Structure formats: C-alpha cells, structure tokens
A = this chain, B = another copy of it.
C-alpha cells in the first residue's frame, strides 16, 4: 500500500487550492444572488458566475479530472483523491465548475465504458466539453429501489424502438433544462433471471412523453445548484433501439460498474466538507466568548475538535486505501472497501458537521454558513447508491465467507 503523491498531483493541488481561494469561495455568495434573480433557478449552468468559474477551471487545466484514460485527465483514483477532497470544501460550486459533478461524472464513465461510437459522439463529447448536463434515472417512488431488482419501469421493444413507461424520482439534475440526456434504467424482460431483467436506454430530454413533474427537496433545500432532484414520468416514451446501452439485460451489471467510482468521489468530497467544518469550528470557537472564556478553552468543545480530527484522519486513510485498491486490483477487487467507505463516511462527516453547527449557535443552521446545507447533502449519502443497511448486510456476508474460508484453511 503506497499513498505517495507525485509532482503532477502536487502541481494540480496547488493550482486547485489557488483556484478555490481566488475564485470559488468568493463566488459562493454571488452564486446565491444570481440564482435568486434567475428566471429559472435550476438552470445553474447558465449563470454568469458559473460560466466564469468553468472558463477559469478549464483554463487552469482543472477539467474532467475525475475521468481516467485518454478521454479525461488520465488521473488514477489515488491521484484524484486529494483533488476531489478539496472540491468538497465548496461542494455546491467547485465540482460543477470543474466538470466533475455527479451525476454527469458517472454518466460520462458509463458512456466511456459502454457507449457505442455514435452514443459517445452524441452525448459523451458535449458532456466532456461541459456544453450539456445529464441525469441518471433509476430510483422509483413506488418500490424499495435499494434492491435494484425491484425496479418497475418498463422498457418494451416495439419494432425499431423501445417504449418506456414508468415513474422515477430523486433524479438529480433533471430540473436543469440543460440536462439534455437521461440514462434510464428499466425492465426489458421481467421473465429473465433476477439480475438480467434490466436494461439502460438513452432518452433525450425533449422526447415526447417524458415529463419533469416537480422538484423534491432535501430537508428544505431544492439543490438548485445541481439541477434539483426531480420526479419524472415516462408515458409511452419512444426512442430508437440504438439508444440501448450495451445489450438487453446488461442494466444491472452496468449500474454496478457505474457505482464504484461515484461512491468514492462522494466520499472524497465529503472529507473536504468535514475539513472545512473543522476549520470553521476552530475559528468560531476562538472567536466566541461565553461565561468568561472563549469556547475554544471549554472542555466539551475541545473534545469535539479532537474527535473530529481523529475521525477524519481515519476516514481519509480508508478512502486512500480504497482508491489505491481500485487502481491496482480494479473496482471489483475493491468492492468491500468501497462499501466500507460508503458506510463510514456519512456517519463521520454528519457527526462533525453536527458539532460544527452546534459551535456556531443558531446561525449554524442558517444560510449564512456552509454547514447546514452540507449536512443535508451529507445525509443523502446514507441513501445514495443504496442505503447503509444494504451495504452493511452485504459487507458482513462477505466477511462471514472470508472467515469461514480461513477456518477451513486452518483445519
């Protein structure tokens, strides 16, 4: 296990830190003001401040860093980790400014791995170029989507077309009119074996029958910075058969392949979120005086600061190990570790944010600080790509198998 960094990453890191200080942090309040005045508050890609950030990020070479291989910046997961972490300090702006925000990232990876040449030309290129955004339509309101085999949207072959009927929700980004393409997961063959029933198709936003119904809030946030989370209905939506990604029945496998990198990106950024929270907690604790002493000299506050540092250090190392494993043995080989960080990250970061909020008093819950919105976002990670409970159950099953194998070995 080697987490050593290299000159390329060091240089990107300095570049990015400078970008954050000089451009991103100052843009945070500007963004909120422009959003408030915008005709469509979800069309964040359009705001002058966001266009400016994107131009600057591209100019600095801070673009598509998430994507390995020649189509992206070519970084390994281990190289990307410290950079993604930094973007998490301003998670509403920095990832999008650098074309590194979900769900585009996962969709680009998916198209890069499984798309046909035509699909890449039509959708991957404009995505890589930041000209459009995209959505990934999997979760459904009517079933426990944590079990992907429950998904009920139908995708039926009809001549040279597929016809899609169903209802999805929590479709991140879909409220943004610039989300031009949806990757939709549904069932092509309900009679196939359980993990071969699903397929994925590309559905352009303007296809008749696709209706973006409404935004779903997260706590009270509409997440307009990232195109919200929409409920979307599909009524006799018809796309050409060439819009299928991979083969019929590949849906489940493609979804699994898509999730690994997405999960670790969330975790990397969450660590940056936690670091910003610790910084804010420390600054505030020194500044506020209660009952004759600064908060920073009060034992309970110190306990929180120490616990926060201890937790975030452990978490970061586990994320780095996971990145290193993904690079060296592949996403499949790192499956258990990806689950482990998926479980460990939201709990630790929520805890730290909660304490940072408490140190800030009531203001900590308001729009004046980064903390409450970061908490809301972090809370979603306990569901995103499957609830903790599903991952814990699966991780435990593997541990039981591994231990049983060891016992068999010894005897």
Residues on A facing B (Cβ under 8 Å) = 1-4, 21, 139, 141, 143-147, 150, 169-170, 216-222, 229, 278-279, 282-283, 285-286, 288-291, 295-296, 298-303, 305-307, 309-310, 313-315, 317-318, 320-321, 336-337, 340, 343-344, 357-358, 361-363, 365-368, 372-373, 375-376, 379-380, 382-384, 387-393, 395-397, 399-400, 403-404, 406-407, 410
Of A278, A306, A403, A410, most buried by chain B (CB within 10 Å of CB) is A306
Instruction: Say whether A219 contacts B216, CB under 8 Å.
Output: no
Given contacts A220-B222, A299-B389, 20 further A-B contacts (CB under 8 A): A1-B3, A170-B362, A216-B367, A216-B368, A217-B372, A218-B220, A219-B219, A282-B400, A282-B404, A286-B404, A296-B400, A299-B299, A299-B303, A303-B396, A305-B399, A310-B340, A314-B315, A314-B318, A358-B389, A362-B384
Given contacts A288-B144, A310-B343, contact A400 B363 (CB under 8 A): no
What is the minimal beta-carbon distance from A326 to any residue of chain B, in angstroms? 15
* Residue in B279, B283, B299, B306 whose CB lies within 8 Å of A298: B299
Given contacts A303-B300, A383-B361, A387-B358, contact A290 B144 (CB under 8 A): yes
Instruction: Say whether A220 contacts B373, CB under 8 Å.
Output: yes
CA of A57 to CA of B360, assembled, Å: 39
Instruction: Say whether B219 contacts A372, CB under 8 Å.
Output: yes
CA of A300 to CA of B305, assembled, Å: 13
Q: Which residues of B contact A366 (CB under 8 A)?
A: 170, 216-218, 229
Q: Which residues of B contact A147 (CB under 8 A)?
A: 290-291
Q: Which residue of B lies closest to A316 (CB)?
A: B317
CA of A2 to CA of B78, assembled, Å: 13
A-B contact pairs, 13 of them (CB 8 A): A2-B4, A169-B362, A216-B362, A219-B220, A219-B375, A229-B362, A286-B400, A299-B302, A300-B303, A305-B396, A306-B393, A310-B340, A317-B318
Instruction: Say whether B169 contacts A395, CB under 8 Å.
Output: no
Of A150, A219, A367, most buried by chain B (CB within 10 Å of CB) is A219
Instruction: Say whether B344 contacts A407, CB under 8 Å.
Output: no
Q: Which residues of B contact A220 (CB under 8 A)?
A: 217-222, 372-373, 376
Q: Which residues of B contact A318 (CB under 8 A)?
A: 310, 313-314, 317
Q: Which residue of B lies closest to A311 (CB)?
A: B344
CA of A313 to CA of B383, assembled, Å: 22
Q: Which residues of B contact A2 (CB under 8 A)?
A: 1-4
